[in-house]
Chains A and B, each alone.
Chain A
């Protein structure tokens, strides 16, 4: 078989991979000797020998040139996987070794558990590596559809309108990054959904944008009678008693009352008078909390559709009311909801107290002021720019052509707009007019078509050079601006960035200052949320369900969940803003908390005074709380390995292997039965059974111990020194390379020994995230360089990003 130069080169790389890779060989029966074997190198020759020896001893008797049981012949199978057919054959061999069906139990010569575990481990790694190599596409970034965040931001950049998430097709990326194109499907339903979303955005911009602007006004709401509207002492029993209870509090006459947790009075829907959704409003309220409220629950919650909920602490508003203020980004109906605890396990107790006529904890609001509207939305300006020089009431086809051309030119982000396309759009405009719509209304559909065309909906680059050969070509200047903008801000490049495209490609100093400015900009939050959120796999946390009414998880409600979710990303933000080493992610002497977290986690309560309600603040950790340092000390990460009720050490260990050690465990082999949990065994004892079965052990030896070290954090990330039944928690174990650790803190030190692996994991993720493709073999040189460069620059993110975006890989296509 004659192989092409490319394949030879790839195979050489593949072989070198094994020569350079460091992997210790572990003897499961002698854990203490394992430490001495750190550094043993598994070369390609070693792999070859091991696999051939196994096949020779245990398989070839029945699967050779003369005899092929089950039509399988193994004596001549190449160990080096150079094409998909060989990969498939090895996959079949591995599958059957994993199910234990081969070698057959009746065979005269069978391998020991160690031999079996060893060859399974080798074959699995071999296969994963080879499959990665075979998937290589020469580093080409393929066209992909904008994901949800990018689509919403891109539509807003063009129309000034923020489409709510639920109108946009969800990303179906599963466990992959949502910037990868290959998982994306398309169908008429998806096309329809995008067109519909675009139509509503455009319609809002065109139709609403022209309403006359209101003057800003200050309105005071003193005694909202509507609180009792429609409810009086007649009617249903429950309503009657609720009303009676409400009016029994004299304060109801001079303000409004919000009950801590009883459904009829738990919230107040503030309706902004003469609401104009295009504008923003300032809302002020004078509030006080009852002394009888639990300390940690003295707050007012402000919920708005378009923003994250705000919490105003009221523990300093018990004796005397105080004034709070916030910006209202009200929903379409102009409502903002004020409440304390909407649903909680306090409700039954409070309802009972109410029924008996007893007083219950409340928040009293003296008055509410609403000031506005103040117009800041871009849609008003964008609309003016779009309709410049045209009389809105008399849009002729030639005007429509001009408007649509203008719109498409910006929407297509540098891709050419064909005149025939505009012709087709004008036809649609005219047909809409025929149905009786106004000229402005008739522009909605053709503009929506622009926003549903691939030049808007997909991120594409000019790759005509790829049809001739596989060598990359430099990006065009607008393509560089686009890559940077979508990577750091998740939106299309601004005019300024577009104009600077050339300089960004050729002037490193300019690139550096631009990067600094982009990182300092509030829009950089998208990078933190999207890149780090996905690299840290926070989606897995989102999927954990916690029954906040259960006795096992009191009050792990929405606000706690929200705070827990934000913590790791706020920590990342701090590290970036302060230009600190990324190794702090593994362990740090400080962390960040907000008041919702210190309220929920007992061991964090000493930090209460330093924490605030709506903001995460940096807090120095005391010596006893060092266990809370770094990502592994954070509930969000710990809960990635949790069912909401019990911990999952395997998931926790696997997360560490993937994210911090860049050594993802292979997926569980298909058709292997699960081990049944024996309730009499401890968690550690249950997982010990993995050690007894060769097929399990080969992968689990690199996962289980690390997860078990975190057993001192329960299923909700709360610290515990013992299990509920009193059994002490053992935390000692081994790293995948065999080095021992005594507990989680010790494990973090061992993880710091491998900090380069974490950086490697981050860099490869960065390639996937910003270039929309897998990190391939051809990227290894760049990855090596970036890891070395990072080491030389204190492992800080900014130098790493700069080195990355100025690399040949990033600036070519």
Chain B
């Protein structure tokens, strides 16, 4: 661990670049590519999954709302994380594929962060983690779907109004004032960092491992402050969207987050986004009295199954409207935002406690390489990390391997 403050910054700024000074990317030519990973807990009912394959496959009733987009997305079957040992682990390893079960295990970097290494340097935010704070939502530990290399969780923004403020707030602050504010934040950080050295002298190896999470957070803050300083002169984009209310029901919350994700992409505030979706608030908005865990064990009763189906239909409907808006939004070079992004939608588990053959759906057509409109059947027990690798490689060919991937899903390409 590097404790000298001067060295601290030097090691982390190498990835930072100056912000683009052009206002419209159309001056440089094409729109940038983006990637969005959407994840939810508890999977679906078995009824959700299509049983026919190829280009002529049929959508199930639960997938009805996606019918209009059928030619523009791909469903993939037989993917799984062999290291995911238990359904109760939640979405902790969904984007990492690591074996992170129990006291000794460690998580590792999530695929969106690998993408951010290549795609996160020209935007105000290297990546954005949207999340939910609810308990019992099937996500397990951590603050978002995104994880660092050293196994610490990345924090996310959990409320739409907070996300709005993060993206578009503080418009009126003069540059000098902003710099002064950042300098004050830096002084606070310096106090924390300087304080760490005395701690480590009396700590055992085990203690240091625990305190490393704290130290990693300080690093993140330092990077954020440095990045904000570089961006302080550039004004934040103005959008025609109202600040969301603090109290939103589950449906409004998910809709608002989808809206904000869209705006963040359209205004090029970030090109890498993850969204750890809620279910508890969604169930409440749908007037379902059962807990999320109870309906995930829908085999126990008809009522539970009905409730689970209501939820999966609504959730899919919300996803379908997200695709609607992606297609309707104009990108900087006149094309559709849809054409310049890749969106993944899925869960860490299939149904109940079944971790094999998880739901995996991909839409968007960044790079133009994917051939949508099919239900692709991979060989049994194909690593889900193969899908992550495929998406990463589509966006940046230098990525050769991710998690426990053993190849690329060639079947997705034209």
Interface residues in chain A, defined as those with a beta carbon under 8 Å from any beta carbon in chain B:
131, 134-135, 137, 140, 142-144, 170, 172, 174-175, 180-191, 195, 415-416, 418, 420-421, 424-425, 427-428, 431-432, 435, 445-446, 449, 452-455, 457-458, 460, 462-464, 466-467, 543, 545, 547, 643-644, 646, 667-668, 670-677, 679, 774
Contact = CB atoms under 8 A, between A and B. Distances in A.
Given A421-B194, A454-B196, A463-B202, 4 more contacts: A186-B152, A189-B155, A191-B218, A643-B300
Nearest to A670: B355
Contact of B224 (A188, A195, A466, A543): A188
Contact of B195 (A172, A185, A421): A421
Q: Which of B142, B156, B187, B301 has the most CB of A within 10 A?
A: B187
A79 B220 CA distance: 45
List of 3 A-B pairs having minimum Cβ-Cβ separation, nearest first: A189-B155, A466-B204, A187-B155
B46 to A, nearest CB: 9
A543 B202 contact: no
B24 interface: no
Q: Is the interface of A mostly helix, strand, loop or mixed?
A: loop
Contacts of A172: 141
Interface in B194-235: 194-199, 201-207, 209-211, 213-214, 216-218, 220-221, 224
Contact of B354 (A135, A170, A428, A673): A673
A144 B210 contact: yes
Contact of B192 (A427, A449, A677): A449
Contacts of A679: 301-302
Interface of B: 84-88, 102-104, 133, 135-136, 140-143, 152-156, 180, 183-184, 187-188, 190-192, 194-199, 201-207, 209-211, 213-214, 216-218, 220-221, 224, 289-291, 293-294, 297, 299-302, 352-356
Contacts of A460: 199, 202-203, 207
Contacts of A646: 300-301
Given A143-B211, A643-B290, A774 B352 contact: no
A595 B86 CA distance: 43
From B196, B220, B294, residue with most partner A Cβ within 10 Å = B294
B157 to A, nearest CB: 8
Given A186-B213, A421-B194, A135 B104 contact: yes
A170 to B, nearest CB: 7
Given A185-B143, A187-B153, A187-B217, A424 B201 contact: no
A424 B352 contact: no
24 contacts: A135-B102, A143-B203, A189-B143, A190-B217, A195-B188, A415-B199, A427-B190, A427-B191, A431-B183, A432-B184, A446-B191, A449-B191, A453-B192, A453-B195, A454-B195, A454-B214, A458-B210, A460-B202, A464-B202, A466-B204, A670-B355, A671-B353, A674-B297, A677-B300
A577 B103 CA distance: 36
Contacts of A673: 352, 354
B299 A677 contact: yes
Contacts, number: 180
Contacts of B221: 188, 191
B329 to A, nearest CB: 29
Contact of A424 (B183, B194, B302, B356): B194
Contact of A545 (B188, B209, B210, B289): B289
Given A185-B141, A458-B211, A460-B203, A671 B299 contact: no
Contacts of A467: 204-205
A448 to B, nearest CB: 9
Contacts of B197: 418
A431 B206 contact: no
Contacts of B196: 454
A170 B135 contact: yes
B206 A140 contact: yes
A643 B141 CA distance: 24
B199 A677 contact: no
Contact of B136 (A184, A455, A543): A543
Contacts of A644: 290
A188 B189 CA distance: 11
Nearest to B208: A143
Contacts of A671: 353-356
A446 B187 CA distance: 10
Contacts of B302: 679
Given A140-B204, A189-B156, A460-B207, A427 B187 contact: yes
A403 to B, nearest CB: 15
A455 B104 contact: no
Contacts of B354: 671, 673
Contacts of B299: 674-677
Contacts of B88: 174-175, 667
Contacts of A428: 184, 187-188, 191
Nearest to B293: A543
A667 B86 contact: yes
B152 A185 contact: yes
A479 to B, nearest CB: 11
A402 to B, nearest CB: 17
B205 to A, nearest CB: 7
Contacts of B103: 135, 180, 182, 774
Contacts of B300: 643, 646, 677
A679 B301 CA distance: 8
B309 to A, nearest CB: 15
A191 B135 contact: no
Residue from A190, A195, A416, A671 whose CB has the most chain B CB atoms within 10 Å: A671
B140 to A, nearest CB: 7
A643 B135 CA distance: 17
A449 B194 CA distance: 12
Contacts of B153: 185-187
A674 B143 contact: no
Given A445-B188, A454-B211, A137 B206 contact: yes
A644 B205 CA distance: 46
Contacts of B207: 142-143, 460, 463
Given A185-B143, A189-B143, A676-B299, A543 B199 contact: no
Most buried by B among A185, A432, A455: A185
Given A428-B188, A543-B136, A667-B86, A186 B216 contact: yes
Contact of B143 (A144, A190, A418): A190
B211 A672 contact: no
Contacts of A191: 214, 217-218, 221
Nearest to A448: B188
A670 B192 contact: no
A195 B192 CA distance: 11
Contacts of B183: 431
Contacts of B154: 187
A140 B207 CA distance: 10
B210 A418 contact: no
A708 B217 CA distance: 49
A135 B204 CA distance: 17
A670 B87 contact: yes
A680 B106 CA distance: 46
A462 B214 CA distance: 18
Contacts of B220: 187-188
B190 A187 contact: no
Contacts of B355: 670-671
A142 B224 CA distance: 30
A668 B356 CA distance: 15
Contacts of A190: 143, 155, 217
A475 to B, nearest CB: 13
Contacts of A774: 103
A421 B143 contact: no
A123 B254 CA distance: 45
Contact of B191 (A134, A135, A174, A425): A425
A131 B293 CA distance: 28
A668 B297 CA distance: 13
Contacts of A463: 202-204, 207
Contact of B142 (A144, A185, A449, A668): A185
